[in-house]
């Protein structure tokens, strides 16, 4: 049985719009309302066309090619969720002529980051969505984007005055303040706090600095002395256990641990192994974190909604490129707190 090849006229009739409207949606020619775009998209989904047929009957070629620059999840498990957001957007927008290419770098190697963004600069992209993991290198990349006229959008890490069209993600300073508030409500006066940065080049990682800054801000306002807050930077390539146990042994009053990324499960495992009871706060719903949350070894997880960050980031680029919409300079997500009792609301 032959598959029907739909023309612009066919699509227009099915969507109850003009042929010109379909042409503008498919080829990005001028403004199109969201309602018109939605109607055409619904028809395309309903007729279940194949990409090769679309190329023959609807498109004269790729309308826009978008690059996504982010760490690879084979290096850090957290980045699997953002990649799922990219895949979701790819499935949704490929049929209307949007090609999305993902460039994955090693988050422990700034050279890998430079290598990947150089490929993007040498390509022919309409826009780039980037997780600016390395602060110094990102500033260089942004300047190069400006010179080449490449619009850039950021997610995960907000860099103020970066020149990005917009940023999508969590307010990380507010996130750190939330962690400080949670910990301060539980701990007693005189108790001390530990901030743990795992496998990060802190001086070149704004996302870690912002979280620690917010944490310190709240505690200072609550009357906690600076000397009550300790910091531990740990390279994951080294043994994690000795420096953590040494710090806990040195400071008897150290009762709360704030891990500034999703690797909080590593700390939880050490605490469990040595039967140590500490208030423990970290980030995101990795399987390991969920396991320790259910076991009572992690008390709070701050959910950063990583999959939505990329899918919404790409949607914003589509609005910018196709619909010529005005884009807000940033979209900050709510700081959501996950505990054992509400976990099912986040994973179902």
Give residue limits of the domains in the chain: 8-57, 172-303
Query: Phi-psi bin for 307: left (phi > 0), alpha (psi -120 to 50), beta?
Result: alpha
Angle between the 80-93 and 306-322 helix axes, to the nearest 10 degrees?
Answer: 30
In this predicted structure, the answer to whether residue 175 has a pLDDT above a threshold of 90 is: yes
CA distance 41 to 288: 38
Query: CA 34 to CA 20: how far, in whole Å?
Result: 15
pLDDT of residue 27: 60
Q: What is the pLDDT of residue 248?
A: 96
Kindly tell me the burial class for residue 34, based on how many C-beta atoms sit within 10 Å of its own C-beta (0-12, 13-18, 19 or more).
exposed
Mean pLDDT over 151-177 rounds to: 97
pLDDT tens digit string along 24-66?
776 655 677 888 888 888 887 777 544 343 444 344 455 799 9
pLDDT at residue 93, rounded to an integer: 87
Burial of residue 23, with CB atoms counted within 10 A of its CB: 0-12 exposed, 13-18 middle, 19 or more buried: middle
Q: What is the pLDDT of residue 50?
A: 43
Under 8 Å between Cβ of 113 and 134: yes
CATH code of the region 8-57 = 1.10.260.40
Report the pLDDT value the prediction gives residue 54, as an integer from 0 to 100. Answer: 41
Residue 39 has what pLDDT? Answer: 86
Same fold, 8-57 and 172-303: no
Per the model's pLDDT, the better-predicted residue between 167 and 326 turns out to be 167
Please determine, for residue 90, whether its predicted confidence score (pLDDT) is greater than 90.
Answer: yes
Phi, psi of 87 (to 5 degrees): -65, -40
Average pLDDT, the chain: 90
Report whether pLDDT(148) > 50.
yes
Residue 59: the pLDDT is 47
For the 172-303 domain, the top CATH level (class) is alpha beta
User: What is the rounded average pLDDT of the residues 299-310?
Assistant: 98
Question: Which pLDDT band holds residue 5 (cuts at 50, 70, 90)?
Answer: low
Among 68-77, 196-205, 256-265, 273-282, name the one with the lowest average pLDDT. 196-205
- Check pLDDT > 90 for residue 70: yes
Q: Which of 64, 63, 14 is nearest to 36 (CA)?
A: 14
Overall average pLDDT of the 155-179 stretch: 97
Give residue 348's pLDDT band: very low, low, confident or very high (50, 70, 90).
Answer: low
pLDDT of residue 340: 97
What is the mean pLDDT of the segment spanning 303-322?
Answer: 95
Whether 2 has a pLDDT exceeding 60, the answer reads no
| pLDDT recorded at residue 3 | 54
Q: Who has greater pLDDT, 239 or 99?
A: 99
CA distances from 270 to 80, 141, 221, 278 (A): 25, 39, 31, 11
pLDDT band at 202 (very low <50, low <70, confident <90, very high): confident
Instruction: Tell me if 340 sits within 8 A of 294, measured CB to CB.
Output: yes
- In the chain, the percentage of residues whose pLDDT exceeds 90 is 72
Q: Mean pLDDT, to the nearest integer, of 267-273?
A: 97
- Assess contact for 270 and 241: CB atoms under 8 A: yes
pLDDT in tens, 96-120: 788 999 999 999 999 999 999 999 9
Which residue blocks in the chain are alpha helix, DSSP H? 8-15, 19-27, 34-47, 51-57, 80-93, 110-121, 135-148, 172-186, 206-221, 241-250, 264-273, 287-294, 306-322, 344-347
| pLDDT for the residue 61 | 52
pLDDT of residue 237: 59
CA atoms of 174 and 171, how far apart (whole Å): 5
pLDDT band at 162 (very low <50, low <70, confident <90, very high): very high
Average pLDDT over residues 158-166: 96
């Amino acid at each position: 049985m032959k598959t029907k090849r739909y023309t612009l006229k066919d699509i227009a009739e099915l969507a109850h719009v003009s042929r010109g409207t379909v042409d503008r949606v498919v080829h990005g020619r001028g403004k199109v309302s969201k309602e018109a775009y939605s109607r055409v998209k619904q028809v395309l989904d309903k007729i279940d066309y194949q990409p090769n047929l679309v190329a023959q009957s609807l498109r004269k070629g790729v309308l826009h090619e978008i690059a996504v620059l982010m760490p690879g999840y084979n290096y850090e498990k957290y980045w699997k969720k953002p990649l799922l957001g990219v895949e979701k957007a790819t499935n949704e927008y490929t049929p209307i002529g949007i090609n999305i290419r993902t460039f994955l770098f090693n988050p422990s190697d700034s050279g890998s980051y430079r290598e990947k963004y150089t490929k993007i600069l040498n390509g022919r992209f309409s826009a780039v969505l980037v997780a600016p993991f390395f602060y110094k290198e990102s500033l260089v990349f942004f300047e190069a984007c400006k010179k080449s006229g490449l619009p850039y959008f950021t997610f995960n890490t907000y860099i103020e005055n970066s020149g990005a069209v917009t940023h999508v993600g969590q307010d990380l300073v507010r996130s750190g303040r939330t962690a400080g508030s949670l910990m301060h409500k539980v701990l007693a006066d005189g108790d001390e706090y530990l901030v743990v940065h795992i496998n990060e080049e802190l001086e070149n990682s704004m996302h870690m600095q912002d979280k620690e800054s917010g944490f310190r801000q709240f505690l200072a306002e609550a009357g906690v002395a600076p000397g009550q807050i300790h910091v531990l930077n740990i390279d994951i390539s080294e043994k994690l256990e000795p420096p953590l146990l040494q710090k806990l042994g040195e400071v008897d009053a150290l009762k709360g641990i704030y891990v500034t990324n999703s690797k909080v499960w590593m700390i939880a495992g050490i605490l469990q192994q040595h039967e140590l009871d500490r208030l423990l706060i970290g980030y995101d719903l990795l399987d390991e974190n969920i396991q320790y949350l259910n076991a009572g070894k992690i008390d709070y997880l701050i959910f950063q909604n990583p999959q939505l960050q990329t899918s919404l980031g790409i949607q914003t680029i589509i609005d910018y490129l196709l619909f010529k919409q005005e884009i807000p300079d940033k979209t900050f997500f709510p700081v959501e707190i996950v505990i054992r009792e509400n976990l099912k609301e986040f994973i179902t």
